[in-house]
Structure 1
Amino acid sequence: MKGIIIFFSGTGNTEYMVKLICGEFQKRNIQCDLFNIENNETLKDEYDFYVFASPIHVEIFPNIFVDWLSKKLPEADNKRCIVLSTQASAVGYGGRQISKLLEKKGYNIVYVRSIPMPNNYYLGKFKATTEDKKIEMKNEAQNEAQAAVESFLRDDVYIEKESLYITELCKLVYKLYKPVLNNFAKKNLTVDYDVCIKCKKCEKGCPVNNIKFDEKIHFDKNCIACQRCVQKCPVNAFKYQGEHFNQLKL
């Protein structure tokens, strides 16, 4: 048996989770590859099972992930799959959001789960996850990974209950809120150039090429507010509305 985990991760929560899932399969001598959609590689239908995972943006999967699935995911012949989301809240609505898309492409969804992870969007009114809570969530993530793999291998079906009404509402809110996301960096982020070491990791790591670096950093209007640039900066040079903040450390 051979599987693959197809994922998008902004600041690292989803990547952390999929590595746990991959490890659980490998403990059982099952090959499981990792496929980051940003690699822009061609994917062939040569796997026995699939796992799809992404963070939640405005309660649903972001366009960067959904568009990739729609345009680049190969069609399959009733391949069993797991759908996972990571988010700061207790539940996300990614599973119902992409279920029809996956089913039309020949995927058989047998496990859908939202996995709470430390909040990476503690800006404005949102609060950072406490250190004690981070430890608790990381331990629970390990338990969730084990439970997902064991359930999947037993051929159990687990579909998290997600309201169709709320899913459709979230899709509408995401569409309406998208211009705010696109301008997030341009309107809210500045750079402390006394701290910046011009490593250009922010430019190279931006999933939507929203950052250009010559002598200074310039933001375009294509941001998805994934927080990768501010969270992954090696010297914490970015400021949100003029203030530094503590970066998320898993």
Structure 2
Amino acid sequence: MKGLGIYFSGTGNTKFLMEKFKEKFDAKGVSVDLQAIDSSENFEDKYDFYIFSAPIYAEFFPKIYVDWVEKNVNISKGKKAILTSTLGSKGTPPALKIMAKILEKKGFEIIIQQEITMPNNWTGEVPSEEKIKESKEITEIKVEKIIEKFFNNEKMIKNPWKLRYWLTLPLVNLMENYLKKWATKNMSVDSNVCIGCKKCEENCPVDNLKVDGNSVNIGKNCVACMRCVNSCPVNAFRIKGKEKEQYKF
């Protein structure tokens, strides 16, 4: 048996989750390959099962992830799948149900559908090292439980409250448009701090940043993944004009 994990990770939470899936499956003699969607558009229908995961941005998966799955994923009927999300709040987000419908139309059988709460790494206060360590331990336990149920073919499907789902569903397009404009309105780069290394430009999953000397031009295609803010080697990005403590998971 061999699986493939297809994921998107802005600042590391989802990447950590997928690496834990790989580690725990490997320990049971099951090989799992990992594929970040911003590193390859290739999809191979050669695996026995698939794991899908991405972070939640205001109730929904990033459009870049949904679009990638819809465009690239095609399988033989009946492949089993684990569908997870990472998020900084509690409760099952509508994103899981929306993605489950997409995957089921493509022929997947969803065995596990589960959100994983992890530290909030957006624009709020950065969690302490103790909180991050605790989150890693809890995530590891949850992954082990998911894998156990998957091996037993025991379905674990978590859906959002119906009211939460129907109230937020009409906001998908509005949220997409808001996030595209969010960066141009709220993000800037301190040219006195920037060293022009182009790391942010090279790492941006939607090619939204262009470095020109010690300044960065921010486009209107942002998905608000915060990768640029948290990976800048000199912390030159500003949110509403203020320096933000970087999140390192």
CA deviation after TM superposition for structure 1 residue 170, in Å: 2.4
Query: What is residue 153 of structure 1 aligned with on the other side?
Result: 151
CA deviation after TM superposition for structure 1 residue 172, in Å: 2.0
Runs of 4+ in 1 over 3 A off after TM superposition: none
Looking at structure 2, the residues matched to 76 and 96 of structure 1 have their Cα atoms a distance apart, in angstroms, of 22
Amino acid paired to 1:224: V
Q: In terms of mean alpha carbon deviation, does 95-104 or 110-119 score higher?
A: 95-104
Q: Tell whether the 8 Å contact from 1:58 to 1:174 is kept in structure 2 after alignment.
A: no
CA deviation after TM superposition for structure 1 residue 131, in Å: 3.4
> Deviation per CA, 1:64-117, whole angstroms, max 9, x where unpaired?
111111111013320111000000011323221111211111100010110011
Alignment of 1:171-190 (within 5 A): 171-190=169-188
Amino acid paired to 2:113: V
Amino acid paired to 1:13: N
Alignment size in residue pairs: 247
CA RMSD between the two structures: 1.4
Is 2:69 aligned against 1:97?
A: no
Is 2:161 aligned against 1:163?
A: yes
Identity of aligned residues (%): 38
Q: Tell whether the 8 Å contact from 2:96 to 2:159 is kept in structure 1 after alignment.
A: no
TM-score for both structures, normalised by structure 1? 0.94
Unaligned runs of 5+ in 1: none
Amino acid paired to 1:202: C
Query: What is residue 85 of structure 1 aligned with on the other side?
Result: 85
CA deviation after TM superposition for structure 1 residue 174, in Å: 3.1
Looking at structure 1, the residues matched to 136 and 163 of structure 2 have their Cα atoms a distance apart, in angstroms, of 31
Alignment of 1:234-249 (within 5 A): 234-249=233-248
Q: State the SS of the aligned residue for 1:38.
A: coil
Amino acid paired to 1:201: K
Looking at structure 1, the residues matched to 22 and 222 of structure 2 have their Cα atoms a distance apart, in angstroms, of 30
Amino acid paired to 1:246: E
Q: In terms of mean alpha carbon deviation, does 225-234 or 170-179 score higher?
A: 170-179
Q: State the SS of the aligned residue for 2:243.
A: coil
Query: What is residue 38 of structure 1 aligned with on the other side?
Result: 38
> Deviation per CA, 1:23-48, whole angstroms, max 9, x where unpaired?
10111111100011112332121000
TM-score for both structures, normalised by structure 2? 0.94
Q: Tell whether the 8 Å contact from 1:87 to 1:115 is kept in structure 2 after alignment.
A: yes
Unaligned runs of 5+ in 2: none
CA deviation after TM superposition for structure 1 residue 222, in Å: 0.7
Q: State the SS of the aligned residue for 1:39.
A: coil
Amino acid paired to 1:107: F
Q: Tell whether the 8 Å contact from 2:50 to 2:80 is kept in structure 1 after alignment.
A: yes
Alignment of 1:209-224 (within 5 A): 209-215=207-213, 216-224=215-223
Looking at structure 2, the residues matched to 84 and 77 of structure 1 have their Cα atoms a distance apart, in angstroms, of 21
> Deviation per CA, 1:146-188, whole angstroms, max 9, x where unpaired?
1111111111110113224422432322321322211122111
Looking at structure 1, the residues matched to 142 and 175 of structure 2 have their Cα atoms a distance apart, in angstroms, of 31
Looking at structure 1, the residues matched to 191 and 104 of structure 2 have their Cα atoms a distance apart, in angstroms, of 49
Q: Tell whether the 8 Å contact from 1:61 to 1:97 is kept in structure 2 after alignment.
A: no
Q: In terms of mean alpha carbon deviation, does 46-55 or 127-136 score higher?
A: 127-136
